[in-house]
Amino acid sequence: MEGFIIIVSGFSGAGKGTLMKNLLEKYPEDYALSISATSRKPRVGEKHGVEYFFIDRANFEDMIKKNQLLEYAEYVGNYYGTPRRYVENQLSMGKNVILEIEMQGAMKIKRNMPDTKIINIFVSTVDAVTLYGRLVGRGTESIDVIKKRMDRAVEESGIMEEYDYLIINDDLETATTQLHDIILNERNGQAELNEAARIASNKEFINDMKIKLLSFSKGELQ
């Protein structure tokens, strides 16, 4: 049986990468994480072919021209994209492929792979203050870049309702178990067991997050 695609998006600083790493360590036989390509420089400790394929801007644009990406987008001055060949190979082997991408890319994936089952999951912190604290705590970016990421979070909060499920990544182990259960239930035809995680069941949280992020970006919430 061919695998399906799990698209994981969320605010920068919500811990998507850590969540994906933990999921793969716990259930290595069930998933394949699609490694994205990016034109940004590696952060300390990041390795080519592990966290990302680090490609300079000219070569990235060449991949775009050759249709070697399922999707790509420009975010905070850098390209990010999903290499086509790896995803198609993993699906054919029955693996569920996780794509950690933005909403813009998620919509392109849907258009490019209309016959593949796709689940969309959004990852959030418990509140806006926690999100800002995580971005600052990384110590890898200037305050100006962090401000851009918070402003982008305001935009992203407006499209959270386009996703199927919401995971609040407050405790890593809890979030990992929840993510695995969502996917397992979908695969087993028991999606009704995921009701508590559905976007429709979390409207109050989403609306509150929108308000708090907007207030934070205006300097009204500290």
| 17 labelled binding-site residue | yes
| 45 labelled binding-site residue | no
Per the DSSP assignment, residues forming a β-bridge with 97 are 5, 32
Cα–Cα nearest to 7, from 79, 115, 94, 87: 87
| 11 labelled binding-site residue | yes
**What span, in angstroms and rounded, lies between the C-alpha atoms of 48 and 36?**
10
Q: How many CA atoms lie within 13 A of 70 on its CB side?
A: 27
Query: Residue holding tokens 């849907």?
Result: 110
| 105 labelled binding-site residue | no
| 16 labelled binding-site residue | yes
Q: Which two tokens stand for residue 139?
A: 């110590």
| 15 labelled binding-site residue | yes
- Classify 58 as helix, strand or coil: helix
Residues 8 and 102: beta-carbon distance below 8 Å: no
First-to-last C-alpha distance (Å) of the chain: 50
| 10 labelled binding-site residue | yes
| 158 labelled binding-site residue | no
- Classify 55 as helix, strand or coil: coil
Residues annotated within the binding site for ATP are 10-17
Binding-site entries: 10-17
